[in-house]
Structure 1
Amino acid sequence: MASLTSSQLGAPTRHRWPADGPSAGADLIGRDDTMDALHRCLAAARDGRPSLVLLDGVGGVGRSAMATWAARTAEQAGFGTATARCSLLEQDFAFAATRQLFTAPRDADLTTPDHAETPGATHAAMQRLLARTAELAEDRPLLLVVDDLQWADVPTLRWLAYLVRRWSGLRVALLGTICAGEPVSDRSTLDELGAFATRVPLAGITLDEVSGALAHAFDKPVSAPFAAACHRATGGVPFLLGELVGAIRTRERTGATIDERGVAEIGPERVAHTVLNRLRRTGAASVDLANAVAVLGDGADLTSAAQLCGLGGDDAARAVDELCAQGVLTADPRLSFAHSIVRNAVRRALTVGAGIAAHTTAARVLHARHAPAEEVAAHVVAADLTTEPWVGDVLSRAATAAVDRSDARAATRYLRQWCRLPEGGDLRARTLTRLAAVELTVDRDAAEGHLRQALEVAESHGVRARAAACLSSLVFDLHGAAEATRVLRTERDRSGDADDDHAGSLDLRILAFAAQPGLVPAAAECRSAPRPAPVPDWRVDAVAAHHAWRRGEACPDVAELAERALRDGTPDCLGDQPFVWSAVGALFLAARHDSCRRFAEPAVRLARQRGWLGFAARGELLLARVARAQGRLGDALDLVLAASSTGRDRHVALPDLVVTHVERGELTEAHRALTDADADDPAATPRLLHARGRWHAARGDHARALADQLACGRAYLSGAVVPEVPCHPWAAWSAHALGRREEARELAAHGVALGRRTGHAGLLGASLIVAGLVGGNRGAGADGPAALTEAVELLADAPLMLARALTVRGSALCASGQETAGVADLRRAFDIGIKSGALPIAGSARRELRRAGHRPSRALTGPDALTRQERTVVGLAVAGNTNRQIAERLFLTVRTVEHHLTTSYRKLNISGRRELAAALPTG
């Protein structure tokens, strides 16, 4: 597609000072470079190369004028244009600026949340907006202009950041203006948007341009000192320069002569004062109306502004005409200040008391006119209004609207104001609990404090139960399972048995926390079973499933309970998270890996969206275990690293990190993770002992490995719990390596018996491998070869353990003269090890093949050896992204990116990043 020509865009020319004086059109003086940048932006968009330009500058420097010029130029070149002007008082109105961009009747529902989805997500709305943008840009190129972007509501900023990440190929240009020194609604998202932008700073015009403007304004040349004084006084800001010229003319009409010293006395603040004086001369009605617009915010309607300042319809209309004629307001048809300097000067002129009184009146006026709840609530908060009987209802509805639009910050402001109302008892406790729920993504420590307050002021057991449920779940997220259980026990002791429903609910939650993935509870909790309680049945099933496993019940029965709980439950609140993960964890323990993954992935997404980081980390930990069990070691490492970098219970993930590194042959990294782990933590000890034993075994120190695995088994059995890790097969393996054949046979027999009793194919298969290795397990009804054959059949869905079984069986077959079958097993084991990234397994199979006089299949190297994630990371690195940029784009940690690159270098047989492009195939 051809680029825009100069004639199509109206090529920029050197601007002279306009004939009607410096305040009209002066903002375009000296902006040739800026116009060139905007021409390039529009030309790129016309060619299907979307671009973003951000104009930065102080108030009055001409940002809005340049935005208007860009929109007019784009329209003349055949672009569609859409413009939004953000307002400080509209920051709490979700998608307020976005709705200004999409004004067609058919676009009314674009930003309405889809209540069929989780209310914590705006993803569906963003997808609709993106699709509508693409549709508009199909007919003709599109320019989106957002003025005063620093005041944009947070959902709008997030949508713009979403748009620029996904607009490849769209004929769209985005122009934003940012006023320096003004408060920013969401600095992090604005910075993210800025990373994709061409930043064009707008500075004041030069001294020569100021001198020329003054000569034109006064119809005579001015002295160099006078021009320099004017330049210093205004910083070259066109708006201030125009106002300064007006102030000088006013003084000269009184007979005064203004020289450079007089200019210095006027200064910028005096310029603002001059604006106010000019405003006051228009009359009391105009001043009152300007004050009303300053309080209501840009975009105010005339009726509300008139009611706020007590003007009748005709008087208000005349005041608007006068203010527009004076260049103070614009009306199109809603009322806005023509310039932020004027608006800020008017606001600063209001005393604190007058401002509070004005916001109070504004809240009453808007409520009486049935304005949207969020619009009324903004003034309720600004006035700290607590006396009106309707305030609580307005704040509640405003908070609901903000939550529906995923604006937690606004919802938090409204609910915090609601908590200032003179209410107590259960109503206050419910409000505090609701506030804490939305504070989770804003201020987690404040959420904890508000839940503790709710527990203190609640009167009924039902309200106390909900507060205790949310508090214990949040405390688990912040401080770990032990502290969460302590919260529940304290409430249990306080309430006693006066209310069976409340007591039963608390008891069930205590059991649920004892069943969290990776934790080993006290013996009494392990032996307890959930008693029927007046809570939804799915919660009882969720806890019962986990405890059924721990008592050694059959895996199919455990899985049935867990799946029923997850099918019947509606686990979308913080208080229900312990039950969700009890059930999902039970599915993993019962070796239902596909089901575990199916339920865990959406639950992790929900937890991330709601800010339940501790529960999200537990879910990622379970998904890492599933990935490892299914031979996806690259995915397992990504997930366990994500889990170990989140929350204050991160040490719970470290044993899994150790085992994953050991499976991949990364013993140095495994040792580093071991040194980070807390061996004295009772919750982590059994799994940590197992992980350390695996590391010792990988290093050939089977004496220490055996000791750790036996200690792990004792830790579980002390609570009468079936171990969550296969410590007995690994202990048997190390005992065999030490030549302690009988001990190995006994340990293997124990694992076989437990595996047969529970129906756990993984535990049974792993135990049968060692049983076959040491010469059979007559008690299990299988000799050595039969045990190995059964193990291979059982482990079809567990690639890593299957490869171990194939290696042992293949070696035994070769030793007994069945070389063809044995070599086939060994080559299959080698291929599984290579495909999974389990280098030690592949190495073991290779050694056995060579011992039999054969070579393995050629190891997969080069680009074909890269995993999907490794290919993605390498591609981004070749494109020039830094490790941090790759991490942010793929939602990984920098450490994970470094690991993927290091592994890729090894597979590609190169030394570093500079050789990547040459090592990859072209085309």
Structure 2
Amino acid sequence: MADRDAGTAGRTPAGRDAELSWLAARLSAGAPRESSVVVLRGRAGIGKTSLLDAALAARSDTVVCRSAGVAGDAAAASRGLLAALREAGAPVADPEPEPDAFAAWYEDFAAWAAGKPGIVFAVDDVQWCDEPTLRWLSLLARRATRLPLRMILVRSAADGPAGAAERLSDLESWYGTEVLDLGPLPTSAVAALAREAVGSEPGERFVRHCVEQSGGNPLLLREMLDELRKVAAGVAPVAGSAAGSALIRSLFAGVPGYARTVATAVAVLGGQDLWMVARLAEVPVRTAETAVEVLRSQHILAPEGLAFRHDPVRDGLLGAVDPAELSRLRRAAATLLSDAAGSPEEVAEQLLELDALEPWMGDLLRDAARSACDRGAPWDAVRYLRPAAAARPSDAGLAVQLAETVALLEPAGGFDLLLRALDLQRDPAERARTAVKLGRLALVARRCAAAVTVLESALSELGAESDPQLRVSLEALLCLVGIEDRESLPKLGARLRPGDDVVDAGHLAVCAVVAALDGARSRQSAEWAIRAIRGYDPIADDSAVSATVLALLLADEVDVARDELSRVIELVPAQRSEYLAFRGLLGHWCGDLTAAAADAGQAYALGRRADGRTGGVVPRIALATVVAQQGDTAKAAELLREADSPQLWEHTVMRPWFQLVDARVHWASGDLDAALALFRRCGESLDEVGIGNPLLAPWWFEAACLLADDGQYDAAADLAADGTGPALRWGTPRAVGMARLATAVATPGDDRIGLLEEAAAILAGSPARLEEALAEFQLGRALVEAGDTAAARARLRRAAELSLRSGDRRLLHRAQQTAAEAGIPSQVKPVATLSPAERLTAGLAGRGVSNRVIAERLFVTVRTVETHLTSVYRKLRITGRAELAAALDQTDDGRPGVLGGVR
């Protein structure tokens, strides 16, 4: 039920000024668009609804559509919202429409909403909403980011049907959602309420007792103060006793003793069926039924079921029980629940309250932990396992289970616990299996150096008669971990047995990435990576994914790499932040900065909410890479500062890439000396770990461009020559084209034109859109210098088109500036700003294809289609599909106009 009795509607709740200001700011018409959904969470009676009442009371210019979830009537909230929409004059939709029907309704809704200063959808007790209602709210939230719409969802932290948390997770974890958890009232607010109740200034001891016994819960506090109104201010109500005891005495005044016994049994069992309550209370079932009716009549129990109206009353009742008696009741309750085949977690909650555990209880706590992990609550699993492990310190299996569970929440902590668990194991095969787990975790916790030592030891302990598959898995994992260890990477070649007979997916992934990092066999590397993808199951073990994707990216097998990243993003939620970041880097690699920014931005947002398995280094560097290319060097520098941590220096691959992006930022800021020093340091970092691929962090190419722009052609030519050999050895069109381009920019005078033409042609046959745009720009500039303005127009136009479509604002500005200085008129049309993915999506949508069909044709999710269309509408300054066809046809030949006068 909504906690309206925790405060007076429309009145500022005591002690909630900061929360009210925070919420009011999000309801303001000028609030940032990212915070379009706000979730208010807290225990019953904590004041959630009164806070919302106060915030909405101040928004007289806002259309408020308010409803509430109802236990036992899952569709009540949607009916209430639709009724409120109808009353406000808005179009009304089916809460579970077909996608096309929703799109049609949304266009009408958007047109209605666009003229409103503010709209609020407020849903109390959202945990009782059914899945169609939540899906409808989620879809609307994602589509309405440009409308003056806010959603306020009020959720009890404890109440709700089974599966409520999972149904709400989509809304609560969306990057546009902010969560406000209401905690207990501060001491100052308790003092203010006490002052209001007793009519004078309360003493410190009185306030302290009120805080301790109410737990800062406004509802219970007001009930307490009603009982204590006659007590003189400044003195504790009952010396040596808690105010809660007085409240319990008041609540149970006149209640028969058997009813209090039953209430205590209900408090211990937490809402089990009446038969079990009667067994624990040691009374007949009929007596228990009578007791429950008495407790309901006294407003102690809820009208339905076996639950207290307010949790503090339950806590106070248990606090009044003698500790020895309470321990006896807990043990009896655990036995009853276990004998009745109750859920392991219900039994575990009883056991956690005991001072000492019996042997059988440890196994039950382990079962409870597995159950908690299965429902996606590893924090509860850790609560169950810690006391079990403390009671059985020599149980290696229990130690491993605890370590794996802790690792879900804190990878570094789980890694340390796995190291301790290894000390408890004596069997070499068991140690090897645990070492495999440790190695996989090391890739997440960035503890690869320590893991290499353990894996090598485990491998040496395995006898010749050991499981061959275990040995193969251990060897493959040792190589995968070794890639991320700066000391081990140069030695990996001796461990590998590349060849067509290799079938283990992990081993194939290592062969692929080592060959890619070596920079010698691009086709072989890609073939091994593709075979590895076919051989592993990322749900069971995703340790080979990053290596495989890196090999595919360097070999320019970008479509396969993108498909694999999209697959694992959906299948491996624990690693979603890092895989989104990798897909962002892939988007940058292919010159689609719009998609790259969306992926990297989402990865960064996920990484900031919870460190998860990545610690945030890769998402920060990915986002810095994209925003630097888009021209926002200040933001890129800030992100690099956030990423610069001891964890970064454990990365063999991300460390040189970090230095490369840092150099780009200094170059864009005009600090050429620092940029050149960072480019050279990047090259040294690659040499330190034996990485020979010229494309992983192409410092030589960018440093050559910097020196050439500065007129230092000889130094630029030296770097271009150093990079050309490895680039030709790698042999992809990107590598060869970049080598030709570096040589061209380092060549002064008109001789560079032919080299630039060759580089542009080679790069046009690769996914390297950013490098192709740079080649076209350099060629256009060279033609301007040679006096061939007509030819320069075409090249500068091509450079501008590619820059617009990719989102490279820096190069776009340079191309436009060069054209202007040469007297070439410039004109940019909105359609030219669309990325290739956006243009393809918009073209299909403009022909009337539904979002679902577009998603199927392009092999993306419906959400991705919606994101592209939202961006398209913004860039083209239109409101919906009906205007797409006309907006896309902006030039006579169907191409976006960039530089006027060029055809």
- Report the TM-score when normalising by structure 2: 0.62
The whole-number CA distance in structure 2 between the counterparts of 1:747 and 1:99 is 68
The whole-number CA distance in structure 2 between the counterparts of 1:558 and 1:688 is 24
Aligned residue type for 1:371: G
SS of the aligned residue for 1:383 comes to coil
Change (3 A) 1:350 1:98: farther
Q: 816, 841, 855: which is aligned to 2:824? A: 855
Q: What's 2:341 paired with?
A: 370
Residue 429 (str. 1) matches residue 430 (str. 2):
no
Aligned residue type for 1:351: D
Residue 83 (str. 1) matches residue 71 (str. 2):
yes
Is the 8 Å Cα contact of residues 751 and 763 (structure 1) preserved in structure 2?
Answer: no
Q: What's 1:454 paired with?
A: 421
Q: 735, 756, 759: which is aligned to 1:788? A: 759
Q: 793, 803, 812: which is aligned to 1:833? A: 803
The whole-number CA distance in structure 2 between the counterparts of 1:153 and 1:605 is 26
Question: Which deviates more, 842-851 or 402-411?
Answer: 842-851
Residue 842 (str. 1) matches residue 812 (str. 2):
yes
Q: What's 1:568 paired with?
A: 535
Q: 275, 282, 285: which is aligned to 1:310? A: 282
Q: What's 1:130 paired with?
A: 131
Is the 8 Å Cα contact of residues 286 and 320 (structure 1) preserved in structure 2?
Answer: yes
Is the 8 Å Cα contact of residues 751 and 767 (structure 1) preserved in structure 2?
Answer: yes
Is the 8 Å Cα contact of residues 762 and 798 (structure 1) preserved in structure 2?
Answer: yes
Q: In the comparison of the two structures, how many residue pairs are matched?
A: 699
Q: What's 2:549 paired with?
A: 584
Change (3 A) 1:449 1:712: closer
The whole-number CA distance in structure 1 between the counterparts of 2:160 and 2:436 is 36
Is the 8 Å Cα contact of residues 624 and 636 (structure 2) preserved in structure 1?
Answer: yes
Q: 724, 747, 769: which is aligned to 2:741? A: 769
The whole-number CA distance in structure 2 between the counterparts of 1:637 and 1:770 is 27
Residue 663 (str. 1) matches residue 629 (str. 2):
yes
Q: What's 2:181 paired with?
A: 191
Aligned residue type for 2:568: A
The whole-number CA distance in structure 2 between the counterparts of 1:262 and 1:692 is 63
Q: 293, 296, 307: which is aligned to 2:266? A: 293
Aligned residue type for 1:588: L
Q: What's 1:411 paired with?
A: 381
Aligned residue type for 2:385: L
Residue 624 (str. 1) matches residue 557 (str. 2):
no
Q: What's 1:282 paired with?
A: 256
Q: What's 2:490 paired with?
A: 523
Change (3 A) 1:783 1:128: farther
Change (3 A) 1:282 1:532: farther
Residue 558 (str. 1) matches residue 525 (str. 2):
yes
Is the 8 Å Cα contact of residues 755 and 763 (structure 1) preserved in structure 2?
Answer: yes
Change (3 A) 1:450 1:238: closer
Is the 8 Å Cα contact of residues 373 and 397 (structure 1) preserved in structure 2?
Answer: yes
Q: 353, 361, 368: which is aligned to 1:398? A: 368
Q: Deviations over 1:135-190 (max 9, x none)?
A: 99xxxxxxx99997566799746756866999x9xxxxxxxxxxxxxxxxxxx956
Is the 8 Å Cα contact of residues 60 and 239 (structure 1) preserved in structure 2?
Answer: no
Residue 603 (str. 1) matches residue 591 (str. 2):
no
The whole-number CA distance in structure 2 between the counterparts of 1:670 and 1:55 is 37
Q: Deviations over 1:466-486 (max 9, x none)?
A: 432333444443445444445
1:303 Cα shift?
Answer: 0.9
Q: Deviations over 1:317-354 (max 9, x none)?
A: 5555665666655674x434466565444312212221
Residue 512 (str. 1) matches residue 480 (str. 2):
yes
Change (3 A) 1:417 1:53: closer
The whole-number CA distance in structure 1 between the counterparts of 2:711 and 2:327 is 85
Is the 8 Å Cα contact of residues 556 and 759 (structure 1) preserved in structure 2?
Answer: no
Q: Which has the larger radius of gyration?
A: 1
Q: What's 2:331 paired with?
A: 360
The whole-number CA distance in structure 1 between the counterparts of 2:582 and 2:777 is 28
The whole-number CA distance in structure 2 between the counterparts of 1:408 and 1:652 is 24
Q: Deviations over 1:529-567 (max 9, x none)?
A: 257999982111111110121233432322222222223
1:131 Cα shift?
Answer: 0.4
Q: What's 2:898 paired with?
A: none
Change (3 A) 1:236 1:372: closer
Is the 8 Å Cα contact of residues 480 and 648 (structure 1) preserved in structure 2?
Answer: no
The whole-number CA distance in structure 2 between the counterparts of 1:445 and 1:98 is 42
Change (3 A) 1:496 1:858: farther
Is the 8 Å Cα contact of residues 664 and 839 (structure 1) preserved in structure 2?
Answer: yes
Structure 2 unaligned blocks of 5 or more? 12-35, 54-66, 79-125, 138-151, 200-217, 839-870, 878-903
1:764 Cα shift?
Answer: 1.0
Aligned residue type for 1:129: D
Change (3 A) 1:313 1:657: closer
Aligned residue type for 1:308: L
Q: Deviations over 1:570-620 (max 9, x none)?
A: 1235xx44322111111111122232232224535665x43x58xx44x34
Change (3 A) 1:344 1:788: closer
Q: What's 2:509 paired with?
A: 542
Q: Deviations over 1:835-893 (max 9, x none)?
A: 43434423443454356x441522468x99699999xxxxxxxxxxxxxxxxxxxxxxx
Is the 8 Å Cα contact of residues 477 and 506 (structure 2) preserved in structure 1?
Answer: no
Q: 383, 394, 398: which is aligned to 2:354? A: 383
The whole-number CA distance in structure 1 between the counterparts of 2:317 and 2:600 is 56
Is the 8 Å Cα contact of residues 83 and 100 (structure 1) preserved in structure 2?
Answer: no
The whole-number CA distance in structure 2 between the counterparts of 1:379 and 1:264 is 33
Aligned residue type for 1:515: I
The whole-number CA distance in structure 1 between the counterparts of 2:228 and 2:154 is 29
Q: Deviations over 1:300-331 (max 9, x none)?
A: 32210122233344554555566566665567
Structure 1 unaligned blocks of 5 or more? 1-26, 35-48, 67-78, 85-96, 103-124, 137-143, 169-187, 210-233, 249-257, 777-781, 871-899, 909-923
The whole-number CA distance in structure 2 between the counterparts of 1:758 and 1:680 is 27
Aligned residue type for 2:808: A
Change (3 A) 1:771 1:572: same
Q: What's 1:633 paired with?
A: 593
Aligned residue type for 2:827: R
The whole-number CA distance in structure 2 between the counterparts of 1:757 and 1:272 is 82
The whole-number CA distance in structure 1 between the counterparts of 2:406 and 2:745 is 57
Change (3 A) 1:396 1:838: same
The whole-number CA distance in structure 1 between the counterparts of 2:76 and 2:415 is 38
Aligned residue type for 2:826: S
Change (3 A) 1:637 1:484: farther
1:59-78 matched pairs, under 5 angstroms: none
Is the 8 Å Cα contact of residues 819 and 826 (structure 2) preserved in structure 1?
Answer: no
Change (3 A) 1:729 1:384: same
1:507 Cα shift?
Answer: 3.8
SS of the aligned residue for 2:70 comes to strand
SS of the aligned residue for 1:335 comes to coil
Is the 8 Å Cα contact of residues 98 and 156 (structure 1) preserved in structure 2?
Answer: no
The whole-number CA distance in structure 2 between the counterparts of 1:236 and 1:410 is 27
Aligned residue type for 1:412: V
Q: What's 1:805 paired with?
A: 775
Residue 348 (str. 1) matches residue 313 (str. 2):
no
Is the 8 Å Cα contact of residues 154 and 407 (structure 1) preserved in structure 2?
Answer: no
- Report the TM-score when normalising by structure 1: 0.61
Is the 8 Å Cα contact of residues 5 and 219 (structure 2) preserved in structure 1?
Answer: no
Q: 693, 702, 714: which is aligned to 1:722? A: 693
Question: Which deviates more, 529-538 or 486-495?
Answer: 529-538
